[in-house]
Each structure stands twice: as structure tokens, then as C-alpha cells.
């Protein structure tokens, strides 16, 4: 249903005929970690996330998985080597 509280005009799963059914009756504002994210939208009552009603919960266990401004800290691991193929390769080369 279309939101009539914080983000008027946007479709929201929390909006019911009786009003916003989200915890607290409205979306929660973005937190400092969301600064610079492409999903932050400015509304008359503050800045909110286009995707989540409670942005703080997306940062509880680390980086928000939809954050457009923060890169993942996971480094790509070294290329895996198949031990069987490596053994055959070394036999062919006479090592």
C-alpha cells in the first residue's frame, strides 16, 4: 500500500488500511553509517532509507549489505589450485 506517513507516494509492505504497522508507526531515520549511501532519501521529516524501515538494524552485525558507499572488507582469496591437476602439471614439466 502507498505510504501516507514518512515517505508519501512510495509503496510499502508495512502500510495497512489502519496505518503504518511498522514498529513505532513510522520508518526510523538513517544513522551516521548510512551517510553517502545512494538509498538515502530526503523527506520533510529527515533522511530515510528507501529499502529499510530501520536502517540501524542493518548495521548491527557489520556493514549493510546494500550500502552503495562502503566497500566490503573481504579481500579476494588467492586462486585455488586443484592438487591433482597441479601434480600432473609438475610431472609433465619434469619437476
CB atoms within 10 A of CB 58: 20
Q: Please, which residue, 22 or 79, has the CB nearer to ligand SF4?
A: 22
Residue with cell 504497522: 21
Q: Which residues bind ligand SF4 (CB under 6 A)?
A: 30, 34, 37, 39-40, 49, 51-52, 55, 58, 64, 66-67
Closest CB 58 distance from ligand SF4, rounded Å? 4
Q: Give the shortest CB-89-to-ligand SF4 separation in angstroms.
A: 45
Q: At closest approach, how far in Å is the CB of 91 from ligand SF4?
A: 51
If the CB atoms of residues 32 and 94 are measured against ligand SF4, the closer one turns out to be: 32
Residues 6+ apart with CB under 8 A from 73: 63
Complex with ligand SF4: residue 5 or 52, whichever CB lies closer: 52
Q: Which letter does DSSP use for residue 49 in this model?
A: E
Contacts of residue 21, Cβ cutoff 8 Å, sequence gap at least 6:
14, 15
Nearest CA to 51 among 2, 4, 12, 3?
12
Q: How far is the CB of 24 from ligand SF4 (least distance, A)?
A: 16
Amino acid at each position: 500500500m502507498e505510504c501516507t506517513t514518512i515517505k508519501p507516494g512510495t509503496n510499502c509492505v508495512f502500510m495497512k488500511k489502519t496505518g503504518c504497522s511498522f514498529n513505532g508507526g513510522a520508518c526510523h531515520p538513517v544513522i551516521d553509517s548510512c551517510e553517502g549511501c545512494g538509498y538515502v532519501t530526503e523527506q520533510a521529516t529527515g533522511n530515510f532509507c528507501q529499502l529499510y524501515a530501520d536502517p540501524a538494524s542493518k548495521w548491527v552485525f557489520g556493514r549493510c549489505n546494500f550500502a552503495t558507499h562502503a566497500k566490503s572488507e573481504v579481500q579476494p582469496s588467492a586462486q585455488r589450485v586443484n592438487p591433482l591437476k597441479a601434480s600432473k602439471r609438475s610431472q609433465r614439466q619434469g619437476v
